Amino acid sequence: MPDTKFFEREITLSPQSEPAETKFPAKLAYWTFGDPASPAVLLPTCYGGLLETTSPFLYSTGHNSDPILPPSKFFVIVTGLLGGGESSSPSNTAAPWNGPNFPRTTYEDNVRLQYALCGSLGVKKLFAYIGFSMGGQQAYHMSTLYPDFVENMICLAGSARTSWHNWCFLEGPRHAIIMSADFEDGHYKQQANKGLHAFSKVYSTWALSPEWFRERCWEELGFKTLQEYLDAYWSGGGDANDRLALLWTWQKGDITLYHPEGNGDLAKALERIKARCLIMPSRTDQYFPPYDSEQEVKHLKNGEFRCIETPWGHIAGGGNGRKEDTEYIIKEIKRFLNI
C-alpha cells in the first residue's frame, strides 16, 4: 500500500453544514497511482470504507491480474470522506473540533475539497469519477457542482438524492449508537463498543437482502450458521462519532440544493449534468432500489442504466458480492468507458 497523503485546506463549510458557512481546517486523505499526465480517475470512499478498500478491483493488480484502470494508463486518485476516519474526522481532529464538536459536513464540502485537490495535482478534467454507495452519491454531486469537470460519471448503488425511506433506515443504526449507555452524548473516554455492536447488527440486515437470507448466502463464504457470519462481519468496530458524522452527510444528500430556484425539482437538477453517466444499482439493494435509479436515468441527458442481478443486496455494488457480480461491474464499466 502507498503512503497516505494529506491535502490541507481551510474551507468554508457549505450553507447546509452545521455550523453553516464557517471556516474549518480540513485534511483530505488520499492516494495516487500513475502519472498525472494520464487520464485522471477519482474514486471516493463510501460509508465505513477506507482508501485501501475502495474499488481496488478496478485498478490494483493485487486484486485483479488485468485491471481495467491500470496506473500505467490512468492517473488514479482515491480520496477519503470527511468523517470517515482517515480524512478530518471526529476521532482524529484536535480541539475545538474533536469528538462531538466536529462539524456536520456535507457532500458539497467533500466534493469542493476533492476539486481543490485535483487542481493541486494538475488535473484539469476527470476522465471518470466512479463511486459506490456514498461514493456514488458523491459522483452525482461532483457532476452537478462541476458539470464541465467530469467527462464520465459512474454511480454504483447510489443516488442523486437520499430518499425518505433511506433517511428513515439510517435513523435505526443512528439511534442504536446515541441511545447506548456507553455513548455519553459523544463525550466517551473509551470507545462506545456497546453502541457500535448494536449499530452493526441493525445495519447488517439492510446491507444485504431478503433473498440473501433466503438463499443462505453466508454458506458461500464458508460459514455454517448465520450467527457465525454476523459475528465475523458485523460485530462493531470503528469510532461512534465518526459513524454518526458520516450518517449525517448521507442523510443530507440532495443535488437539488445547488439549484434552489428549482424548488427541489430533482428532474431539473439531473438535466443540468453534462457528464456521460452509467448508473448501476443492485437489484436487491434496500438503500438505493433500482426503481429510483431508473427514474433518475430518465432525466439525465447522457445516462445509461445497468442493473446488477444479485441476491447480495447493497454490498454487491462495491465488489463484495459474488465473483460474477464484480465481473459484471468491471465488464460494464469497461464497455461504458470504451477502454
Catalytic positions are 133, 285, 314
CA distance 135 to 138: 5
Q: Is 54 left (phi over 0), alpha (psi -120 to 50) or beta?
A: beta
> What does the DSSP 8-state code read for residue 69?
S
- The β-bridge partners of 32 are 77
Cell numbers that stand for 177 in this block: 449508537
- Distances in Å between the Cα of 48 and the Cα atoms of 129, 196, 242, 247, 324 are 19, 12, 9, 10, 24
Cell numbers that stand for 304 in this block: 445509461
Q: Which residue has 449525517 as its cell numbers?
A: 248
CA dihedral 124→127→131→135, nearest 10 degrees, is 10
Q: Which residue has 494508463 as its cell numbers?
A: 73
